[in-house]
Amino acid sequence: MTFFHIPIWRPHLPESIDGRPLVTNALDFTLNFPYDRLPVSSSSLSSPTTWLAFFLRPEVPILLVVAYFVSKFALPVFCRMTGINGKSSLFLMAVALHNLLLAVFSAVVFVNSWAIFLQHIIENGARMTYSDSDGSLWASGMGAWCTIFYLSKYYELVDTLILIMKGKEASFLQIYHHTGILLTMWGGVVSQASWLLIVVLLNSGIHTLMYTYFLIKTIDPKREIRAAKYLTKAQIGQFFVGILYTLPTYFLREASMASLLVCAFIDLYAVGLILLFVAFAKKKYKKK
């Protein structure tokens, strides 16, 4: 399908066997999670639905977040014991490839998700697109891109591992950022939250620029990129826009309790990110 003659990629990636949200209330997140409705169509480990079902299970993001915390302390010890050199040419090539892949991936998500979003507004109206009360926006391919973007958050944990392997310490901002977005994206996907689209629409664009910046700095560390401070401002701006966008969700009474709970969680998380990024910007870009 096309939008203004631009091809739109609409991947098919069902989050449940019946197409409905896996969770609708608070208890569904843990005690009453419907494992029997996970999209497993094959017992083969090579099946995409098998892996998708695995990452939709509630214990997986929780356990991997715990493992991520542990790695912050264990990996430096491992690097010292094995003598891993975070400045070798081979390592830097791997880091450059990592940043290139994430920049291209983010751009693909950005282009396709915006095209789906705008086309849905034209065909169904802004009110229907915002609430997605009939689930048509989620089913149009936006839900699949939200799910794919959620899965990419596991790979983005590599950012912290790279930092540690370079002999640097992961900041609280980085740990908070990576763990918070992973958990909230999972909650938004399993509840098929319509507000999750703003996270994907904004964050994919910011990440396209951010990982392009990281790529350039990896290839040419001494290059001064004056626009970097504006990228930080854009990151802060997306959190404000995201919070404002989700506010009507609490009053329309069309979202499920599960969706509202995750929405409240991500808004509080975004407030924390604003404070942390502002502090980071003041420290890094303060006038000398």
For the chain (288 residues), the mean pLDDT of every run of 10, in chain order, is 66 88 94 91 64 93 92 80 76 94 97 95 94 93 96 94 85 93 97 96 96 93 84 94 96 92 97 95 73
Query: Residue 23: inside a domain, yes or no?
Result: no
Query: Residue 160: inside a domain, yes or no?
Result: yes
Name the domain count of the chain.
Answer: 1
Query: Residue 236: inside a domain, yes or no?
Result: no
pLDDT at residue 3, rounded to an integer? 52
Contact 95, 158 (CB under 8 A): no
Query: Residue 162: inside a domain, yes or no?
Result: yes
Find the domain containing 155 and state its range: 48-225
- Cα 183 to Cα 179: distance, rounded to the nearest angstrom: 6
Query: Residue 39: inside a domain, yes or no?
Result: no
Query: Residue 5: inside a domain, yes or no?
Result: no
Query: Residue 271: inside a domain, yes or no?
Result: no
Predicted TM-score (pTM) of this structure: 0.92
Query: Residue 237: inside a domain, yes or no?
Result: no
Nearest one of 134, 249, 162, 155 to 199, comparing CA atoms = 249
The kind and range of the H/E element at 177 are helix 172-190
